[in-house]
C-alpha cells in the first residue's frame, strides 16, 4: 500500500466517497439512531456502503465515525464504547478497502462549545479528539479527515491531537455558510491561512452548502495557500438532522461541478450529505476523463453529451421555430423588449393595460422578472401566461433557482411549456435576505448554470435524470450576464459554462458605462452568442446613486452621475427627461455591437421605456438616408 503522501505530492485528482448517513438512512436506519453504533451491531451494513462507493470509483473512503466522539456518543449512552466503535469502524473500512483504496479516519466536531465560546477548555477538547484519533489509528487508517468544522479554535485542537499521536496526513475541512464564511464569521482568507499555519496537509470544504458556493470559496482559498485543496459539497442545500445534513441533488450536476473544482485547484473531490454512489460514479467518471491515474483508466468513457443521450425519435426544434423572439435572435434581427414587474397583488389589470401600449408600439417581447430583489409579487409564470393570452405579445419569463427544489423546477418548466411559454431567461435569483422577508428560506439546489443544463435537456426530450419525457420542450434559452462584475474573469468563466450548458442568448445587467460594455463584448467574442443589452432610464440622482453604490456590478459613470445631479436640482420632470436622454445615447453608442435591447420601465411606467425606443426610429431613418 502506498503512503497517502504520494497522492498529496502527485499532480492527479483523486475521488473521495459520498455520504455514509444518507445511504444508511436509505437502507432503513432511522435518524433517531446512532449511526456510529452500527460499527458494532451491524458491521455488514457499514461495509456494504463502503463497497458501494469503492465500486462507484472512490479512491479514498472515510470511516463511519463522524459523531464517534465521547460527547456525542454520550447522548446515546455509548460514551463508554468510544474506543471500540472507532476501532471497529476503521477495521470495517480497511477490510472493504483492500490494498488499493485509502482509508481516512473521520473526526467531526464535538457538539459542544469550547473556549472562548463555551465552558469546555482547549485541553478537554483536545483530550476527546485524541481519544478518538488513537482508536482510529489502532484500527489501521491511512490518514485523518477533520470535517465539518466551523469553530477554528476547535479544529486547531483536533489538529494538535492528531499531531501529538502520529505524522499521518491531515485533511482539514471547514463548513461554510451562504456568504462563504463560517458561522463564526471566519472568511476563506482567514481559515485557509490558519489551517496552513497549523499544519494541515490538505485544506478544504465540506458539508453545509452545495457545489456553486463551494466554487466561489475555493477560488478565494487558492490565493492564500500552496497546499492541496479538497471539496466535498452537499448535494444541494441541506436539512439539519441531529448534526447530519441531508439534501438531494442531481448526480449530473455534481459531476459537472467536479470539473470546475479542478479548474480552481481542487485535488481531492467527493461528496457529503445527500450524495450517493451514483453521484460518486458520475463524479469519478468526469474526473478521470481529465485526470487518469494509470493506463487502464485512460479509456474511461466521458459522460455522454445531451445530443448523444437524446432519444432517437425526438426531433429538437430549431431555435428560429420556437418563437418570434427566438426567430429574431437566431437570425440576427435586432430585438426589443421591456421589463415590466408582475403586479403586487392578484389583480393584473393595470399591468396588462400598460403592456398593451408595448404591443401597439411594436415591441417584440415583455420581460417578466421572477421576484426581483426578493420582493413578493404575482408569480412571473402566471403573469407571463396572462400577458401572452390576453395581450398577444410574447413574454420572456425570468426563472430563478432561489424558491424551488429540483422537482419543483421540473414541474414548473414542463407546465410552462404546456401553457405555451417559449422564451426563458434563467437566473440564480436574489437571496431572500435582500427583500422584506429575510427569514424566508432559499433553496438553491442548483444555480443558473445547472438550470441551463436542465432546460437544455428538456429541449432534447430528457428530464434531469436523462429519462425520456416524450415530446421535447421548445424553450429559447437565455441567461443573465454582468459586464460590470467586480471579478470579471470569474463572470466570464461562469458565462462560458452557461454557453456550454446550452445558453442561446444573454441579457446584461443595466449598462450605464458603454466603454465597459465594449470591453466586455471584446472579451467574450469567442463565445459567438447574441447579447441583449440592459438599458435602464434613470429617474433621479438618488436613483443613479443607489444603482451605482448598492447594486453589485452596476457602474454609473461620474459624468452620468453629475448630469443626473444637475437635472435633479431642476426638478423631477427634468431628471426623468435627462435619464431618458442618457439611455437613448447609450443605446445609440452600442447599437451596432448588440443583438437587441431590454429597457426597464421605471415605476412600471412603460411610456418612459417607449421614449427610449424612439431613438431606434431615428437611427433607422439615418441609415436609410445613408444608403440612398
Residue 597's φ and ψ, nearest 5 degrees, are -140, 140
> Nearest-CA neighbor of 539 among 501, 583, 498?
583
Measured between its terminal Cα atoms, the distance across the chain in Å is 81
Give me the pLDDT at residue 294, please.
Answer: 39
Rounded mean pLDDT, 169-194:
94
Pinpoint the residues of the chain covered by CATH 3.20.20.330: 4-295
Q: pLDDT by residue (tens digit) across 276-324?
A: 999 999 999 888 766 654 333 322 333 456 776 678 788 999 999 999 9
pLDDT winner (highest mean) among 200-204, 425-429, 441-445: 200-204
Taking the C-alpha atoms of residue 469 and residue 459, their distance in angstroms, rounded to an integer, is 10
Rounded mean pLDDT, 532-544:
91
Helix 82-97 / helix 43-56 crossing angle, nearest 10 deg: 40
User: Which carries the bigger pLDDT value, residue 1 or residue 206?
Assistant: 206
Q: pLDDT by residue (tens digit) across 446-461?
A: 778 888 988 999 999 9
List the beta bridge partners of residue 170.
Answer: 144
List the beta bridge partners of residue 232.
Answer: 206
Would you say residue 25 has pLDDT above 90?
no
Is omega for the bond preceding 149 within 30 degrees of 0, making it cis? no
Give me the pLDDT at residue 620, please.
Answer: 58
Taking the C-alpha atoms of residue 188 and residue 225, their distance in angstroms, rounded to an integer, is 11
Give me the pLDDT at residue 361, please.
Answer: 92
Taking the C-alpha atoms of residue 260 and residue 274, their distance in angstroms, rounded to an integer, is 20
By CB atoms closer than 10 A (0-12, 13-18, 19+), residue 359 is: middle
Give me the pLDDT at residue 518, please.
Answer: 94
Give me the pLDDT at residue 404, please.
Answer: 79
Q: Which are the contacts of 259, defined by CB distance < 8 A and separation ≥ 6?
A: 286, 287, 290
Q: Which 3 state secondary structure label does DSSP give 476?
A: strand
In the 8-state DSSP scheme, what is residue 120? B
> Nearest-CA neighbor of 157 among 192, 123, 196, 191?
123
Q: What percent of the chain has pLDDT over 70?
A: 88
Residue 488's pLDDT band (boundaries 50, 70, 90)?
confident
Give me the pLDDT at residue 242, please.
Answer: 46
What's the Cα-to-Cα distance from 196 to each of 191, 193, 226, 597, rounded to whole Å? 8, 5, 9, 49
Give me the pLDDT at residue 443, please.
Answer: 62
Residue 520's pLDDT band (boundaries 50, 70, 90)?
very high
User: Which carries the bigger pLDDT value, residue 434 or residue 503?
Assistant: 503
Pinpoint the residues of the chain covered by CATH 3.20.20.220: 319-536+592-613
Cβ pair 286, 259 in contact under 8 A: yes
- DSSP β-ladder status, 423-427 and 102-107: unpaired
Residue 180: how many other CB atoms lie within 10 Å: 17
Would you say residue 498 has pLDDT above 80?
yes
Cβ pair 120, 112 in contact under 8 A: yes
User: Which carries the bigger pLDDT value, residue 164 or residue 600?
Assistant: 164
- DSSP β-ladder status, 244-246 and 239-241: antiparallel
Taking the C-alpha atoms of residue 624 and residue 343, their distance in angstroms, rounded to an integer, is 40
Give me the pLDDT at residue 184, please.
Answer: 87
Cβ pair 45, 14 in contact under 8 A: no
Give me the pLDDT at residue 304, please.
Answer: 53
Give me the pLDDT at residue 604, please.
Answer: 75
Cβ pair 387, 606 in contact under 8 A: no
Number of H helices, E strands in the chain: 24, 18
Instruction: Kindly report the CATH number that applies to the domain delimited by 4-295.
Output: 3.20.20.330
Mean pLDDT, the chain, integer: 87
In the 8-state DSSP scheme, what is residue 112? S
Rounded mean pLDDT, 199-207:
96
Residue 440's pLDDT band (boundaries 50, 70, 90)?
low
> Nearest-CA neighbor of 578 among 545, 539, 616?
539
Residue 121's pLDDT band (boundaries 50, 70, 90)?
very high
- DSSP β-ladder status, 228-232 and 476-481: unpaired
Give me the pLDDT at residue 266, please.
Answer: 94
Give me the pLDDT at residue 441, please.
Answer: 58
User: Which carries the bigger pLDDT value, residue 341 or residue 551?
Assistant: 341
Rounded mean pLDDT, 501-519:
93
Exposure letters 37-62 (e unless 16+ CB within 10 A, then b): bbbbeebebbbebbbbbbebbbbbbb
By CB atoms closer than 10 A (0-12, 13-18, 19+), residue 238 is: buried
Cβ pair 283, 254 in contact under 8 A: yes
Cβ pair 229, 263 in contact under 8 A: no
Give me the pLDDT at residue 289, please.
Answer: 65
Give me the pLDDT at residue 344, please.
Answer: 86
Residue 203's φ and ψ, nearest 5 degrees, are -120, 130
What's the Cα-to-Cα distance from 569 to each of 541, 544, 548, 572, rounded to whole Å? 9, 14, 19, 8
**337 is written with which cell numbers?**
423588449
Give me the pLDDT at residue 168, please.
Answer: 96
Taking the C-alpha atoms of residue 368 and residue 378, their distance in angstroms, rounded to an integer, is 10
Q: Which are the contacts of 44, defined by CB distance < 8 A and separation ≥ 6?
A: none
Strand ranges in 34-190 using DSSP code E only, listed in sequence order: 60-62, 102-107, 143-149, 170-174
Q: pLDDT by residue (tens digit) across 30-78?
A: 777 899 999 999 999 999 999 999 999 999 999 999 999 999 999 999 9
pTM, two decimal places = 0.57
Residue 370's pLDDT band (boundaries 50, 70, 90)?
confident
Q: Which are the contacts of 490, defined by CB distance < 8 A and separation ≥ 6?
A: 216, 219
Rounded mean pLDDT, 223-246:
74
**585 is written with which cell numbers?**
445615447
Rounded mean pLDDT, 533-553:
84
Give me the pLDDT at residue 618, please.
Answer: 62
Cβ pair 78, 85 in contact under 8 A: yes
Give me the pLDDT at residue 374, please.
Answer: 53
From the candidate CATH numbers 3.40.109.10, 3.40.1710.10, 3.20.20.220, 3.10.580.10, the one assigned to the domain spanning 319-536+592-613: 3.20.20.220
Amino acid at each position: 500500500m502506498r503512503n497517502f503522501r504520494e497522492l498529496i505530492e502527485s499532480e492527479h485528482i483523486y475521488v473521495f466517497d459520498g455520504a455514509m448517513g444518507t445511504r444508511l438512512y436509505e437502507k432503513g436506519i432511522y435518524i433517531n439512531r446512532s449511526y456510529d453504533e452500527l460499527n458494532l451491531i451491524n458491521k455488514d451494513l457499514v461495509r456494504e456502503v463502503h463497497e458501494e462507493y469503492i465500486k462507484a470509483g472512490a479512491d479514498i473512503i472515510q470511516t463511519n465515525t463522524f459523531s464517534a466522539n465521547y460527547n456525542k456518543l454520550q447522548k446515546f449512552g455509548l460514551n463508554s464504547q468510544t474506543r471500540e466503535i472507532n476501532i471497529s469502524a476503521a477495521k470495517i473500512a480497511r477490510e472493504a478497502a483492500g490494498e488499493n483504496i485509502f482509508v481516512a479516519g473521520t473526526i467531526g466536531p464535538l457538539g459542544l462549545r469550547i473556549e472562548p465560546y463555551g465552558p469546555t477548555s482547549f485541553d478537554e477538547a483536545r483530550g476527546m479528539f485524541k481519544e478518538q484519533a488513537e482508536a482510529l489509528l489502532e484500527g489501521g487508517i491511512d490518514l485523518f479527515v477533520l470535517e465539518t468544522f466551523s469553530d477554528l479554535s476547535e479544529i486547531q485542537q483536533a489538529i494538535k491531537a492528531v499531531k501529538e499521536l502520529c505524522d499521518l496526513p491531515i485533511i482539514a475541512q471547514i463548513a461554510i455558510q451562504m456568504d462563504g464564511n463560517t458561522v463564526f464569521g471566519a472568511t476563506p482568507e482567514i481559515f485557509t491561512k490558519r489551517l496552513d499555519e497549523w499544519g494541515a496537509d490538505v485544506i478544504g470544504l465540506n458539508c453545509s452548502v452545495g457545489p456553486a458556493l463551494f466554487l466561489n470559496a475555493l477560488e478565494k482559498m487558492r490565493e492564500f495557500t500552496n497546499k492541496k485543496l479538497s471539496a466535498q459539497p452537499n448535494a444541494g442545500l441541506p436539512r439539519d438532522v441531529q448534526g447530519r445534513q441531508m439534501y438531494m441533488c442531481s448526480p449530473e450536476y455534481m459531476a459537472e461541478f467536479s470539473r470546475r473544482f479542478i479548474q480552481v485547484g481542487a485535488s481531492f473531490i467527493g461528496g457529503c450529505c445527500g450524495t450517493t454512489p451514483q453521484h460518486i460514479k458520475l463524479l469519478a467518471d468526469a474526473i478521470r476523463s481529465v485526470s487518469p491515474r494509470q493506463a487502464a483508466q485512460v479509456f474511461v468513457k466521458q459522460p455522454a453529451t445531451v445530443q448523444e443521450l437524446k432519444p432517437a425519435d425526438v426531433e429538437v426544434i430549431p431555435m428560429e421555430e420556437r418563437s418570434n423572439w427566438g426567430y429574431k435572435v437566431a437570425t440576427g434581427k435586432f430585438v426589443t423588449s421591456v421589463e415590466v414587474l408582475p403586479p403586487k397583488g392578484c389583480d393584473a389589470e393595470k399591468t396588462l393595460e400598460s403592456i398593451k401600449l408595448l404591443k401597439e408600439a411594436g415591441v417584440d417581447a415583455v420581460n417578466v422578472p421572477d421576484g426581483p430583489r426578493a420582493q413578493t409579487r404575482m408569480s412571473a409564470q402566471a403573469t407571463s401566461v396572462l400577458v401572452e393570452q390576453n395581450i398577444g405579445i410574447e413574454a420572456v419569463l425570468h426563472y430563478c433557482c432561489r424558491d424551488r427544489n429540483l422537482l419543483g423546477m421540473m414541474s414548473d418548466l414542463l407546465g410552462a411549456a404546456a401553457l405555451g411559454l417559449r422564451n426563458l431567461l434563467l437566473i440564480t435569483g436574489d437571496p431572500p435576505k435582500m427583500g422584506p422577508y429575510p427569514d424566508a428560506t432559499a433553496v438553491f439546489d442548483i444555480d443558473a448554470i445547472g438550470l441551463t443544463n436542465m432546460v437544455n435537456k428538456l429541449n432534447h426530450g430528457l428530464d434531469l435524470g436523462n429519462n425520456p419525457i416524450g415530446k421535447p420542450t421548445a424553450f429559447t434559452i437565455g441567461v443573465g450576464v454582468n459586464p460590470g462584475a467586480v471579478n470579471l474573469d470569474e463572470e466570464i468563466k461562469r458565462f462560458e459554462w452557461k454557453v456550454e450548458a446550452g445558453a442561446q442568448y444573454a441579457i446584461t445587467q443595466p449598462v450605464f458605462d458603454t466603454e465597459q460594455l465594449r470591453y466586455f463584448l471584446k472579451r467574450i467574442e469567442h463565445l459567438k452568442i447574441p447579447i441583449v443589452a440592459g438599458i435602464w432610464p434613470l429617474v433621479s440622482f438618488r436613483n443613479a446613486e443607489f444603482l451605482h453604490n448598492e447594486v453589485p456590478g452596476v457602474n454609473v459613470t461620474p459624468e452620468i452621475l453629475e448630469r443626473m445631479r444637475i437635472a435633479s436640482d431642476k426638478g423631477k420632470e427634468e431628471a426623468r427627461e435627462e435619464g431618458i436622454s442618457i439611455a437613448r445615447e447609450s443605446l445609440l453608442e452600442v447599437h451596432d455591437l448588440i443583438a437587441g435591447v431590454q429597457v426597464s420601465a421605471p415605476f412600471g411606467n412603460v411610456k418612459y421605456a417607449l421614449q427610449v425606443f424612439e431613438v431606434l426610429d431615428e437611427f433607422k431613418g439615418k441609415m436609410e438616408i445613408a444608403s440612398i
